[in-house]
Amino acid sequence: MSTTTTISTITTVPSSLIVSINTVSTTTVITASSTVLMNTISTTTTAITTSSTVLINTILTTIKTVITTSSTVSINIISTITTAITTSTVLINISTTITTAITTSSTVSINIISTITTAITTSSTVLINISTITTAITTSTVLINIILTTITAITTSST
């Protein structure tokens, strides 16, 4: 039996942290095991500001997420993400620990603690490969708390 939970409320990050905003439409399928490999292909209109090595907080301002859990734990995430990215080069390496508290008034509790290493190759469209995710998932009570710790380091290929 599976439980479907729609997340409609998230915490936001102060707008002062947002340097340049673009909207990313993503369809992501995560199949959970001890280590999760995820590939996200994203179509995006990118507004990029010039910088060379940047510390950034990638902000998810609007996320509509459907999480489906079963015994083999597969998660389907369809989300609209507002992201802030500052860089000027073609290759961005992002080492990420995201802290986000997401609450919903539905019937599953999922705690996800993730370490994400992301390589974004920027051209007309953006290809995002998220390659290493360590995920701890607990399914029990009433709220979904996705607790991630946000420190995003973007190192451009020019440095």
Query: Could you tell me if 94 and 152 are in contact, meaning their C-beta atoms sit under 8 angstroms apart?
Result: yes
Instruction: Delimit the domains of the chain by residue range.
Output: 3-156
Name which of 57, 152, 145 is nearest 101 in CA terms.
145
More confident call, 71 vs 18: 18
Place of tokens 């507004």: 47
SS3 156: strand
Q: What does residue 124 show for φ and ψ, rounded to 5 degrees?
A: -65, -45
Place of tokens 């390496």: 93
Q: Is the pTM of this model over 0.85?
A: no
Q: Supply the pLDDT for residue 147.
A: 26
Per-residue pLDDT of 22-80, as tens digits, reads 222 222 323 332 222 222 222 222 222 222 222 222 322 222 232 333 322 222 222 22
- Rounded to an integer, the average pLDDT of 134-151 is 26
